[in-house]
Structure 1
Amino acid sequence: MYYGQRKIENPIRWAMVGGGIGSQIGYIHRSAALRDFNFQLVAGAFDINPERGKAFGKELHIAEDRLYPDYKTMFAEEAKRADGIQAVSIATPNGTHYEITKAALEAGLHVVCEKPLCFTTKEAEELEALAQKQNKIVGITYGYAGHQAIEEARQLVAEGKLGKIRIVQLQFAHGFHNVAVEKNTASTKWRVNPKMAGPSYVLGDVGTHPLYLSEVICPDMKIKRLMCSRQSFVESRAPLEDNAMTIMEYDNGAIGYVWSSCVNCGSMHGQKVRIIGEKASIEWWDERPNQLTFEVQGEPVRILERGMGYLAPSALADDRIGGGHPEGLFEAWSNLYSRFAQAMVAADKGETVDFWYPNIHAGVEGVRWVENCVRSADNGATWVEYK
């Protein structure tokens, strides 16, 4: 259990690009990064409007001379300071992630980037190579992966409690965009604009979340080929989809299904992960994140509760408040930011860490999956070899 003890010697001097006024995700980034004193927010370029960004930064008690009009100016000016930033989080629209991440790595900074990392696998692999060359960490904010139940699920699979995995059933299907809400909501408007969002909407925006969770839980399974069908039920969103179904075949003979949607009327979030083996199944639902269902064929269903002593030690290591008390998204993100910080410090020392976290390779694979899904869907929902 974590009681607030120090995990790194000194806080990492940290900045944000984007995430300003009106950005829900920006607030989550700050709350998670600052919670354990692993990061210290010292600079920012929070808004495409410089004055609005500066005013917001003042609200965060950041020195006025470290509030910048854009990320290029911030990287250049901070590099001149003895106490300049060491890491940056990118909370901007998708279409800017590649250029800002590349600039940050070239400036010698560690990066935490919103997903998707970029639009193409080629760009993603370029960033991965640059990160390796610079010996810098790039973390991707698959925030749900920080829940304790995900680590417990990983351990159950690793211990063979499910037997050989047969079926991976994934979905992230909410209903909040069942009509053209983007007409009046700026945060949705750019998500359905191919120039800003890239080649997909819900595949990249929600589908990659449960996909990454499945990769954490079943790290040895690799996709061999897939088939995807996608629709634009709100016609003005075409060519970007607001609903998609993907079928995947894995190299071990397992089959996978991913339902990605924002038009599932009545659904609050609808993110569920179910892993089915030859002996048992596990299921996690992000609206009830403190419980993991463990179902052994022929036995009563077991509900594994977060924070309880029967969980794996690696799952309990992320416990912040003990069993019975509900934890949620802010705790999950805090767990990931703690891992990001430890990985950054280790990289600066020329060391590696012995725990998983959503790193740049996870970002590359998310982009690769979306690219393959789009390729399949745009060729008439045909099977494509995964590449």
Structure 2
Amino acid sequence: MLNGEKLIERPLRWGMVGGGRTGQVGYKHRLGALRDNTAYRLVCGAFDLDAGRGRDFGEKIGVEAERCYADYRSMIAQEAGRADGVEVVTVATPNYTHYEITKACLEAGLHVICEKPLFFTVRECEEIERLAEARGLIVGVTYGYSAYPMLLQMRAMVAQGVIGEVRMVDLTYVHGFNSGDDANASEAQKWRTNPATSGPTFVLGDISTHTYYMSQVILPEMKISKLLCDRQSFIRSRAPLEDNAYVLFHYDNGAVGRLWCSSVCAGSMEAQTIRIVGSKASLIWRETAPNELTYEIQGQPGQVMHHGMPYLDPISLDSDRLGALHTEGLSESWANIYLRIAQAIDAKNRGDEAMLARLIYPGIKGGTDGVRWLEACVRSAEAGAQWVDFA
């Protein structure tokens, strides 16, 4: 069980690009990073395109005024001249800026934690991976849902063969918050439906890339061999970007899968559901009840497993924070992600490759795989919903 004791020698000096007052995700990043004050300490930021607003915001969350910068370039340059300069930077900005900010940070010797989807193309991902490796730096990706303890329990049960051979994978991430047109949309919504700023997808990249990555955490030994994607723009002004999509896939072990993602499922508050069906039993996790895991054995009554209980696998219990009966949520999952990335940075700094190999966290390879998946989905959809190879 995690209780806030230090797992690295000292807190990392941490900065943010984006994530200011008008952003949708900045607070989630700060909740995750600062939940354990033994892992990170927020020392600087370029929080907003409006420098004055960004400085005012930074001061009100406890950052020194002189370390609230007008832009990321100023932050990198001025922090480099300080003995107590920033060591790791979170990129919490619109998609189209991820690549240039991440590259600039790595070139300055800084570790990076970046929002998803990581970049627009696999080529960009591979270039950044080579740069990070050459500089001995970590690039983490904030797949913030992926560290719920019960997802790790699913991983353990699949690996142990408890449900038998995996046959089917069923994934959903749906809500209805974009069912209307974008006439009165917020700025955060507008950039998500503009190909120039969002990239080649809307809901596939914005929400279902989370669910895809979570399925890979649960099923690390299973790889998709081919997929078919059919996507729709029910709000016509969003075309060519989709607000609804269906993806079918075949795995290399013979299993099949499907994913439905939508932001126009009017009235829905279901969010994510993950069902793994094996030859002996099934496992079901729902984001609306993230502390529970349904275990259905063929021919027996269904069971509901609860987080924090001693019958769970150590991999699950090691990420539990509050214990059974006390509800954990998204902020705890984000905290687990940030903590594991801090451990990865510490291990990389020390040259501890064995530790890096043991850690389960969303790194550059997970981010690259997500972009490769998005590229395959777009390629399939643009070919008229045809099966395409996924390699």
The answer for the alignment partner of 1:222 in structure 2 is: 223
Measure the CA separation in 2 of the matches of 1:337 and 1:207: 21
Give distance in 2, aligned partners of 1:24 and 1:241.
21
Determine the structure 2 residue equivalent to 1:115. 116
For the pair 1:249 / 2:253, whether they are aligned, the reply is no
Q: Does 1:17 align with 2:17?
A: yes
- SS of equivalent to 2:25: helix
Q: Secondary structure at the match of 2:125?
A: helix
Shift of 1:10: 0.8
- The whole-number CA distance in structure 2 between the counterparts of 1:184 and 1:219 is 38
> In the alignment, which of 350, 364, 367 is matched to residue 363 of structure 1?
367
Is the Cα–Cα contact under 8 Å of residues 344 and 359 in structure 2 kept in the other structure? no
Whole-angstrom CA distance in 2 between matches of 1:27 and 1:235: 32
Residues 140 and 341 in structure 2, CA contact (< 8 A), matched pair in contact too: yes
The residue type paired with residue 312 of structure 2 is L
Aligned counterparts, 1:281-360, within 5 A: 281-352=282-353, 353=355, 354-360=358-364
**Aligned residue in 1 for 2:158:** 157
Does the 8 Å contact 2:227/2:377 carry over to 1?
yes
In structure 1, the residue matched to 2:83 is: 82
> Shift in Å at residue 179 of structure 1?
0.9
- Name which of 369, 374, 381 aligns with 2:378: 374
CA contact (8 A) 1:94 1:118 kept: yes
Query: TM-score when scaled to structure 2?
Result: 0.97
State percent identity of aligned pairs.
51
Could you tell me whether the CA contact under 8 Å between 1:162 and 1:278 is conserved in 2?
yes
User: What pairs up with 1:172-187 in 2 under 5 angstroms?
Assistant: 172-181=173-182, 183-187=184-188
Q: Secondary structure at the match of 1:3?
A: coil
Instruction: Give the alignment's Cα RMSD to 1 decimal.
Output: 1.0
- 8 Å CA contact 1:44, 1:74 repeated in 2: yes
**Secondary structure at the residue paired with 2:163?**
coil
Match of 1:6 in 2: 6
> 3-state DSSP class of the match of 1:24?
coil
Quick one: distance in 1 between partners of 2:121 and 2:199? 9
C-alpha displacement of 1:181: 4.0
Partners of 2:114 and 2:141 within 8 A in 1: yes
Letter in 2 for 1:101: T
Partner secondary structure for residue 183 of structure 1: coil
SS state of the match for residue 129, structure 2?
A: helix
Aligned residues: 387
3-state SS of paired residue (1:289): coil
Task: Name 2:387's counterpart in structure 1.
Answer: 383
TM-score normalised by L of structure 1: 0.98
Report the counterpart of residue 203 of structure 2 in structure 1.
202
Alignment of 1:37-52 (within 5 A): 37=37, 38-52=39-53
Residue type at the aligned position of 1:189: K
Contact 2:282 2:297 in 1 (8 A): yes
Q: Secondary structure of 2:197's partner? A: helix
> Offset of 1:78 from its aligned partner?
0.7
Structure 2: which amino acid aligns with 1:95?
Y
Matched with 1:135 is: 136
Partners of 1:182 and 1:189 within 8 A in 2: no
The letter for the 1-side match of 2:385 is A
Q: Which runs of 5+ in 2 are unaligned?
A: none
Whether the 8 Å contact between 2:281 and 2:297 is mirrored in structure 1 is yes
Point out where structure 1 has 5 or more consecutive residues left out of the alignment: none
Partner of 2:26: 26
- For the 8 Å contact 2:24–2:188, the answer to whether it is kept is no
Deviation at 1:22, TM superposition (A): 2.2
